[in-house]
Structure 1
């Protein structure tokens, strides 16, 4: 494979879609001959890691305080215009063969790039609520370029077909995957020792882990309700709950809320970390309380550490992985049923171990990162073959 590919990421945060893109770019860097450039909606925790692979530009002019002050005063327009003209000159000179849009949320950046005429691939990580939250006009902007779609789950494909009338033959399902599932080096006892000391848990306690941004869609409120129900049903068994992820302000808000509740000694919001694996390794059970989640990588991360997952059946792609052997799928938003299944796993070491082992084997056998990355690379290769200077058409700005 060769060519110049521009990858659009709606942001550079340490969240699912940007992390998957980063892992894929690292794989491409090792395994394919391709010139890669990233245009991120705004800079973030992953910016430096993207930059270690190739050039990175930011669609947002600046994240500096002075620029934010200018925006509040509505004095940023000239600066914005100069910034966008600079990006236009950059991409006109790059001879782009393909634009890879890493989420529907990046559609406005694609619309800005209308002067670059080349094939477009859109990797869809969103379900209907997320699309409506950002604005359904994003899909209209994508459809102007008639992209090939990659859906991260059957649930995402079904939503695109049934809600937005996109032909199934334009959508390929390639489920998310995580690198290094075969080489997890964290021993559970070592991880437990570190995490239990870090957040103050007694050695006999059980640990239930969740991971993600703190928001309604991720069901952070449901997580607290599940924790409360488990505490009522677990009798004298000590159980703690940890939520990994979230912005600093939201983590602080949740910590304050918990501190003023009956859960103050058992629920822990620890914020974001580059080493989520140590929390998965320390946990007994992973719980996904999302109301909507296309195909959460955290479920496979937990599975790679041998942990079963409990999730809701209508939440998105997670049930496609969990099925009947890698944890439990409970009726949609049934907090009591979720708590019952968590308690069942915590009370039976054999059941928890058996389902965790099945989850681990499944992620190794069917969600190998090299296989998934090779499928994505093959789609890129198919779209860039024959794209030379004689076939590339770029419209110069007026």
Structure 2
């Protein structure tokens, strides 16, 4: 990377955009370029970021007074782990960043735009890498943030064609400032197939067809759609199992578990908590159902492709349209659950050799999202 860049992220939680940023920073560090990162908040990936980059965190931990107050028994108080920095703390951090003489400030996600605007005193150019579609853009960015993106960022990278379209048509980001930059993914190096072990762990017969979905259970990911499609398919196919990895303890997941309890008497819908290592679940799947209503470019889709697994997704849902551009037969009408169930049945009924041939094509496609290709694409865009 020619310029001295300060990356800006909104937090260090384990989610798609944050993982893309981590892979990018690791790739830059491997090339000998020292990465610099400013995070609005910390998270579980913070220590991992710190292995590869100089990291600053905008929000601060509780003050000494807050720590002292917390020790007072029975005293009512607001439970807050972090706090906004004081004016003096902001001045010190800005002065520290100014000494680095950054040429470029590159924000990762629209949720970083608010923090980026605090960095105007650095007198650096601004760019942004956007991973969100309209629902998330409205949720995580203010009108001021989008005006900053439109007027102050010299280049805006969109993770998929649909993201670029939304930014141009809905938020009036100039087309000349936009470029598509597909994500970077770190695919598993381990080639061991642990699918049969995982089937045994879930009580799934070795030869039973398995449809898999993965992601934090929420409306955007369409986990409720996955459950309703599972109900349709399980009622028709005595041996079919469907597995979702990513349920939690929040109300949305509780509703899904309650719905499953109403009809899944044979326990053939498996709602599994988030896993640190989900690869065995990809290994055991015969088909990956990407049920997302809105998913700019899901990394789980690339992991499914790398596992040579056929993928079914919704037209107009985001990056799945880019990834499956050469296989339109795998896309179904947007959120049409009956169409999705029929398509899943159709693909599972294909001869095994045909499914394997398709899977190998998807694996080859997934391998194209390597660190080397990502850095080359980013460099080419910067040279234009």
Give the shorter-chain TM-score range: 0.7 to 0.9
Higher relative contact order, structure no. (Cα contacts within 8 Å, ≥ 6 residues apart):
1
The answer for the alignment partner of 1:162 in structure 2 is 169
Superposed CA offset, 1:264-294 (max 9, x none): 6122232223322222122111111111111
Give the corresponding residue for 1:395.
Answer: none
Q: Distance in 2 between matches of 1:131 and 1:192?
A: 37
1: distance between equivalents of 2:251 and 2:26? 31
Structure 1, unmatched stretches of 5+, are 384-398
Q: Residues of 2 paired with 1:12 and 1:75: CA distance? A: 15
Alignment of 1:1-398 (within 5 A): 1=1, 3-31=3-31, 33-62=32-61, 72=78, 80-81=86-87, 83-137=89-143, 138-180=145-187, 185-187=191-193, 191-234=194-237, 236=238, 238-245=239-246, 247-249=248-250, 253=254, 256-258=257-259, 260-263=261-264, 265-325=267-327, 328-348=330-350, 349-364=352-367, 366-379=368-381
Deviates more, 1:103-112 or 1:135-144: 135-144
Quick check: 2:195–2:282 contact (8 Å CA) kept in 1?
A: no
Q: Distance in 1 between matches of 2:331 and 2:44?
A: 33
What is the alpha-carbon distance in structure 1 between the residues aligned to residue 230 and residue 8 of structure 2? 38
Q: Give secondary structure in 1 for the equivalent of 2:275.
A: coil
Superposed CA offset, 1:343-396 (max 9, x none):
2222333342232122112223x434311222224556x59xxxxxxxxxxxxx
SS of 1:44 mapped into structure 2 = coil
How many residues are matched? 373
Alpha-carbon shift at residue 170 of structure 1 (Å): 0.8
Distance 2:81 2:303 in 1: 44
Distance 1:75 1:291, change over 3 A: closer
> Do the aligned partners of residues 47 and 246 (structure 1) sit closer, same or farther apart at CA in structure 2, a change above 3 Å counting?
farther
Structure 2 SS opposite 1:93: helix
SS at match of 2:37: strand
Unaligned residue ranges in structure 2 (runs of 5+): 71-75
User: Tell me, what secondary structure is at the counterpart of 2:152?
Assistant: coil
Q: Whole-Å Cα distance in 1 between the matches of residues 185 and 84 of structure 2?
A: 42
CA RMSD of aligned residues (A): 3.0
Deviation (angstroms), 1:113 = 1.2
| TM-score normalised per structure 2 | 0.87
> Per the alignment, do residues 305 and 207 of structure 1 end up closer, same or farther by CA in structure 2, a change over 3 Å counting?
same
C-alpha distance in structure 2 between counterparts of 1:84 and 1:164, whole Å: 30
Per-residue CA distance 1:200-246 (angstroms, 9 max, x = gap) = 32223222111122211111111111111111232x2x222222235
Instruction: Using the TM superposition, give the Cα deviation of residue 93 of structure 1 relative to its aligned residue in structure 2, in angstroms.
Output: 2.7
Inter-partner Cα distance in structure 2 for 1:300 and 1:77: 36
Runs of 4+ in 1 over 6 A off after TM superposition: 66-71, 73-78
Distance in 1 between the 2:282 and 2:338 partners? 23
Secondary structure of 1:261's counterpart equals helix
Q: How far did residue 169 of structure 1 move?
A: 1.4
